A and B are shown apart, each in its own frame.
Chain A
Amino acid sequence: GENVEQHPSTLSVQEGDSAVIKCTYSDSASNYFPWYKQELGKRPQLIIDIRSNVGEKKDQRIAVTLNKTAKHFSLHITETQPEDSAVYFCAATPGGGADGLTFGKGTHLIIQP
């Protein structure tokens, strides 16, 4: 099955600086890669996603890049703000015709004032 590795587990950045979170996946058949933000005790919420036929996608301060050859994708947050503090999860679709998402273990992003 699919395996998703996510790094780092904790990331602390100064307010206004950029943050980058990286993920790798194992199944070359995966074709959908969402990123979720989860605040403490709340549900995960989709912040951006990318499909395998696209190399980069941006939405205001958030961008995702995908390298299919290397099987890794990254989340970039620019001009970080206090409200960006949360746990971020990357995910990928499984191979073999199965459904559902395989998640990384999460990155706790801390924005220092």
Chain B
Amino acid sequence: QVQLVQSGAEVKKPGASVKVSCKASGYTFISYGISWVRQAPGQGLEWMGWISAYNGNTNYAQKFQGRVTMTTETSTSTAYMEMTSLTSDDTAVYFCARANSGSSNFDSWGQGTLVTVSS
């Protein structure tokens, strides 16, 4: 069965960076991409970007370009999302989800990682 397991909760100070991991199992990692979606407290879902696990190609939402970097490590079937210059507005649960390029079909999701930005 497809499973995406994310790293644990993080507490960061404003201006810091955070790196969240998403370890995939149960399928051929390089056959799909990984999207990252975040959800601020009490708010809806917001797509951040996508990375191909096959060749590392990325597609970032304009809002996050320059501040978010998505990478993958095929040897461990793990995807990473790093965000810099954190502010309190970045406090949210961050989800990874399996997805192909050009698709809104997120067929498997990680459990989510809470990132809290507070001084």
A and B physically associate: no
Query: B-side interface residues toward A, CB under 8 Å?
Result: none
